[in-house]
Structure 1
Amino acid sequence: MTLKKEHRIGRHATLLLLMEETHELEEITKQLNWKSCLGKVGSMDSQKVVAAIEVAAKQQGIIKENLYRESHALYHAIMEALHGITRGQMQLGSVMRTVGLRFAVVRGNPYEEEVEGEWLAVAIYGTIGAPVRGLEHETLGLGINHI
């Protein structure tokens, strides 16, 4: 089981999210036969952040809505990424924090052997802070899970 250097799915999701011009990376995604989507969400409710990412992944065909294992894998990748942006507290509005986030979801096989199966990476980047404009700071989270 060897992870291909050029197939690092978490790195790919993070770069896709952070790049202003995504044409080149989207082309690489197609060449790898991976799927990806981008989106935005702003909320004081972590449930709304999770829901926005899940809905985007389902609508863009990243996961199949009727397969529990795919939804379950996505949920765990989202939770891991949220832990990163909230510093492990998983709370937003209840502790008077708000977020303005962009997210990327990437699905593919990062290993040399096809039998390793597919993985999901969720990258989240944006701002978090008190619900007062101008008092927030940057944050970044990444979650990776096998399907």
Structure 2
Amino acid sequence: MALKKEQRIGRHATLLLLTDDHRELSQQTEQIGWKSCLGKVGSMESQKVVAAIEVAAKQQGVISQELYRETHALYHAIMEALHGITRGQMQLGSVMRTVGLRFAVVRGNPYEDEAEGEWIAVAIYGTIGAPVRGLEHETLGLGINHI
């Protein structure tokens, strides 16, 4: 039941998010049979961040629009990543914070044993701070959940 060293899904999502050349890593993702998507969102409302990531994952075929369990798994991975970028305070606008974020969603099986099934990772990177340009700082969050 060990993780495949070269197929750590959270690491892969984070690298995909942070690299300047997404094409190479996206091709590697496809070669190992995984699915992925990238996107951007800026908001003062956390529900808009969640919605943007869910819509991108559905539109780009990372999760099925018809299967609730896939949306549910994605939701929990997003929440875990949001806890990372908001330092556990799941509030944005109500505490006068705004975010400008990029995200990556990766779906696949990171285990040697295929019976472990698929997992989903959400990596989020960007800026967070007061809604005044120039007064924000970097932030990074990662969430991983089984499907």
3-state SS of 2:53 partner? helix
Structure 2 residue aligned with 1:137: 137
TM-score between both structures, scaled by the size of structure 1? 0.99
Per-residue deviation, 1:65: 1.1
For 1:9, give the aligned amino acid: I
Q: Quick check: 1:146 aligned with 2:146?
A: yes
Listed as ranges, the gaps of 5+ residues in structure 1 are none
For 1:19, give the aligned amino acid: T
Map 1:42-53 to 2 at 5 A.
Answer: 42-53=42-53
Structure 2 residue aligned with 1:20: 20
Q: How many residue pairs were aligned? A: 147
Q: Quick check: 1:119 aligned with 2:119?
A: yes
Structure 2 residue aligned with 1:41: 41
Structure 2 residue aligned with 1:63: 63
TM-score between both structures, scaled by the size of structure 2? 0.99
CA distance in 2, matches of 1:41, 1:18: 15
| Percentage of pairs with the same residue | 85
Q: Quick check: 1:74 aligned with 2:74?
A: yes
Deviation by residue 1:3-43 (Cα, 9 ceiling, x = unmatched): 00000000000000000011221111011100000000000
Deviation by residue 1:31-72 (Cα, 9 ceiling, x = unmatched): 110000000000000000000000000000111111111000
CA distance in 1, matches of 2:36, 2:24: 13
What value does the CA root-mean-square deviation take over the aligned residues? Answer: 0.5
For 2:70, give the aligned amino acid: E
